[in-house]
Amino acid sequence: MAAELNYRQEKCNITWRKKMKKLIVKVAFLPLLGLLTLFSMNCATSSHNKGMRHLKNNQFTEAIAFLKQAEQEKPDSYKIKRDLGIAFYRARRFDEALAKLQGARNLKMDDSKTVFYTGLTYEAKGMLDEAIGEYKGYMTLKGSRKFRKKISKRIRHLTLEKISAEITEALAQEQNINVGAFPDNTIAVLSFKNLGKSREYDPLQKGLAQMLITDLAKVKKLKVVERLKLQILLEEIKLGSSGVVDAATAPRVGKLIGAKKLVNGAFTDLTDDDFRIDATLTETATSKVLQVDEVTGKLGKLFQMQKDLAFAIIADLGVQLSREERESIRKIPTESLLAFIAYSKGLDFEDRGMFDRARREYQKAVQIDPNFSQAQENLAAVDINKSAATEPKAAASKLEEDLESAEVDVSGGRQARLTATGLATQTGQAPQGDNDNRTPVIENSTNARIPIRIPLGGN
């Protein structure tokens, strides 16, 4: 392999020396440094292209050798480093892949292909948290809308996979779990329980819990267990899909999901117009109830009551809020009780795997209150969640193919737009057919000393 590389490199050098002699005669005014740069770039491009051809044919050893050569010739090319990282990934040399991909990112932070392959590499190493983080980063970059949906589905698949693995391990090691080792700032919010007689308020059991989770998650000093993990655990230990957990069972739930403290709440309609919400803060290790909070008010002020409860719980936890955190928590997502009930029904239907009914409820919530952002977000995600729950995770190789197709579609669309605006034919001062009325350049004339632009396959 080394002999082949040396032979090809020498052949490249000989070919370009011949070309340089001819080119120097015609463009003697070009600085020598420019010629050397041109020579170096074209040899690097040659090695890069050869490496990519081998990579396309799954000849990983050859691809890596040529791409390493290209990297030596042009060490500041993020594309060469990225493609070398991809070659290492496909050769299942994941640590080396990560090193090169990180090098590419240092040169160009917002290259979506680098971020994507970093996610794939972490996923292949079983580092699901890191993989999810990279895929979420990909979602913030420009790219094909169709492919972004596939990445969203991948994130959901990996999230479910990660949570299921954590719960399976926790159940297997339940007797050995050291609750005392849990960080003091970890907290979980269980579904509230409707203690009243009005069953139409049952959906609020999950809706109020989700609002509280959202508020607590805005506090940087707290680590809040996501509701999805709690729901999957409850289904695993056969506690039903309602999410309601009694006081006796709560400590075991906290132990299995890794929460130092638990919020368990209830609410009741005292009269047609009066409402009360109660919450207890329980310590997982001792089952000791640390604090009981209660807020009472008119049903029309339900959302303000929920905010008052959130601030009371945060105070019980001994956390000092910043002004920004306080202002963020104060924001009320909707003033419409009907919209909130529809949203809460959507949460319950989605937990039960009834995604089409969940979508209809989220749509209803948005129709009632178009500014209800949480309902909008859930509506946008419900179809992705449905496909992630009902379809197998795509192979990584299939995702790579989808990315290549998406890049072709995007570049094709860009070329079509350039052609439509006339820009494509103007690039590089190309002749414009019969409309080209420029004065021909005669060697040794004064017109000959114009800047020469040589199109290069740069990286």
Q: What is the DSSP string of 420-453?
A: HHT-TTTGGG---GGG--PPPP-TTSGGG-S---
Helix segments in 110-203, DSSP class H: 112-124, 128-139, 145-172
Q: What pLDDT does 291 receive?
A: 79
Cα 360 from chain centroid (whole Å): 26
CA neighbours closer than 13 Å in the CB half-sphere of residue 16 = 18
Q: What pLDDT does 239 receive?
A: 72
| CA separation for the pair 324, 279 (Å, rounded) | 25
**How many CB atoms sit inside 10 A of residue 84's CB?**
28
Give every CB contact of residue 371 below 8 A, 6+ residues apart in sequence.
334
Q: What pLDDT does 271 receive?
A: 80
Q: What pLDDT does 3 receive?
A: 56
For strands 261-269 and 274-283, give the pairing.
antiparallel
Give every CB contact of residue 96 below 8 A, 6+ residues apart in sequence.
85, 88
From the list 215, 286, 291, 292, the residue with the least C-alpha distance to 255 is 286
* Domain assignments of the chain as residue spans, ordered by start: 2-169, 179-332
294 backbone dihedrals φ, ψ, rounded to 5°? -145, 135
| CA separation for the pair 94, 157 (Å, rounded) | 21
Q: What pLDDT does 145 receive?
A: 84
Q: What pLDDT does 17 receive?
A: 59
Q: What pLDDT does 23 receive?
A: 52
Structural element, H or E, at residue 275: strand 274-283
| CA separation for the pair 50, 439 (Å, rounded) | 40
**CA distances for 224 relative to 112, 127, 164, 262, angstroms:** 30, 21, 18, 10
Q: What pLDDT does 405 receive?
A: 84
Per-residue pLDDT reduced to its tens digit, 141-175: 887 788 999 999 999 999 999 999 999 999 999 99
Q: Which CATH superfamily is domain 179-332 in?
A: TolB, N-terminal domain (3.40.50.10070)
Q: What pLDDT does 434 receive?
A: 37
Per-residue pLDDT reduced to its tens digit, 203-251: 999 999 999 999 999 999 999 999 999 999 988 888 766 667 777 788 8
Q: Does domain 2-169 have CATH number 3.40.630.30?
A: no
> Token pair 């590089």 is at which residue?
428
What percent helix, strand, coil does the chain show, rounded to 5? 65, 10, 30
Single pTM value for the model = 0.75
Q: Are residues 369 and 334 in contact, defined by beta-carbon separation less than 8 angstroms? A: yes
Q: Are residues 253 and 201 in contact, defined by beta-carbon separation less than 8 angstroms? A: no
Cα 406 from chain centroid (whole Å): 17
Q: Residue 398 carries which side chain, given as an amino acid letter?
A: K
Spans of the chain, pLDDT less than 70: 1-45, 240-243, 408-459
Q: Is 203 helix (H, G, I), strand (E, B) or coil?
A: coil
From the list 134, 324, 373, the residue with the least C-alpha distance to 220 is 324
